[in-house]
Amino acid sequence: MHIKRSMGQLQRPSIEAFKAQAKLPVVLVLDNVRSLHNVGSAFRTADAFALERIALCGITGTPPHREIEKTALGATQSVEWNHVAETAQAIQQLREEGYHIIAIEQAEGSIPLHQFAPVYPEKYALVFGNEVHGVSDEVMLAVDSCIEIPQSGTKHSLNIAVSIGIVLWDCYHKLHLQ
């Protein structure tokens, strides 16, 4: 029989301790994400895997917002974030800070996620695009590489929140757990 652990047994850090702890060398870049629930989910996932921060770009909603909090469940308080008017501007700034810029998109020359081999302590900026249009063409021209999540079903894509979870788990597993 399995008994769920209580919140106390999980021994999660306080917000202050979380902010001071070492982070996964990953920045999540949201390129014109329109759903506030997806933004909230991104915050919660970024908290779970202790990312450095989130760059909210273009029309992507920003905290504080009730709809973001529905799925973030307080992660907007723990995860660092900034808003940049243009995704290309955010990418340029991250490149200057030494990040390898990677789009998560179905594109020619993309690397299947299972073949992606991040190396610690390199830094990565992972760009996720709009729910309908994906990563913008302008941004695709500016990235260093592209990762694709292999799929076998009839639908052409996954929900962005699901994609973020899959890719960040993969990065966490490869950079932190191994």
Q: Structural domain boundaries of the chain? A: 22-177
Per the CB < 8 A criterion, the answer to whether 148 and 105 are in contact is yes
Confidence band, pLDDT 50/70/90 cuts, at residue 178: confident
Say which CATH architecture domain 22-177 belongs to: 3-Layer(aba) Sandwich (3.40)
What's residue 114's pLDDT?
98
Flag whether pLDDT at 173 surpasses 90: yes
What value does the mean pLDDT take over residues 100-113? 97
pLDDT, tens digit, 9 for 90 and up, residues 3-42? 999 888 998 999 999 999 999 999 999 999 999 999 999 9
